[in-house]
Amino acid sequence: AQSVTQPDIHITVSEGASLELRCNYSYGATPYLFWYVQSPGQGLQLLLKYFSGDTLVQGIKGFEAEFKRSQSSFNLRKPSVHWSDAAEYFCAVGAYSGGSNYKLTFGKGTLLTVNP
C-alpha cells in the first residue's frame, strides 16, 4: 500500500525567505503526486501535480515541486515566501487499488508560519 511522509509538522520562516517542504512517498509503481494547501477556513486547494514528463512542475502562487524517483521525494519549494502563504500544506499520492478503485493517500501535513 502507498504511504506519504511529511517529516516536518511545523515550519516557521520569515517573509521573503525561501521555503522547502519535504515529502517522501512509498509506492510500487509510477506515482501520481500532488500538493494541496489549506488556508484557515478554506478547503483544500490544489497547488500542483505530477503525472509524468518533466520532473520539475510549476504550480499556482509561485510554487514548484521536483519529483526525484531515486529519493522517492516530491519536495515543494518557493523562492520567496509571502505572509499569505501561511497555511497547512499536504502532500498526497494518487494510486489505484483493487482494480479500478482510485484514491488519494495524504501525508500528515506541514503547518507553515510566516513571520513578518
Burial 15-27, CB ≥16 within 10 A → b, else e: eeeebebbbbbeb
- Write down the least CB distance from residue 50 to other proteins, Å: 11
Q: Which is nearer to other proteins, 86 or 111 (CB)?
A: 111
- Give the whole-angstrom CA distance, residue 71 versus residue 76: 14
Residues forming the site for other proteins (CB under 8 A): 4, 32, 36, 41-46, 49, 51, 90, 92, 94, 97-98, 100-109
Q: Are 32 and 49 in contact (CB under 8 A)?
A: yes
- Give the whole-angstrom CA distance, residue 83 versus residue 100: 41
Q: Which is nearer to other proteins, 57 or 109 (CB)?
A: 109
- Write down the least CB distance from residue 18 to other proteins, Å: 26
Q: Which is nearer to other proteins, 31 or 81 (CB)?
A: 31
- Write down the least CB distance from residue 73 to other proteins, Å: 18
Q: Which is nearer to other proteins, 97 or 113 (CB)?
A: 97
Of 27, 11, 40, the C-alpha closest to 104 is 27
- Write down the least CB distance from residue 68 to other proteins, Å: 20
The grid coordinates listed for 79 are 523562492
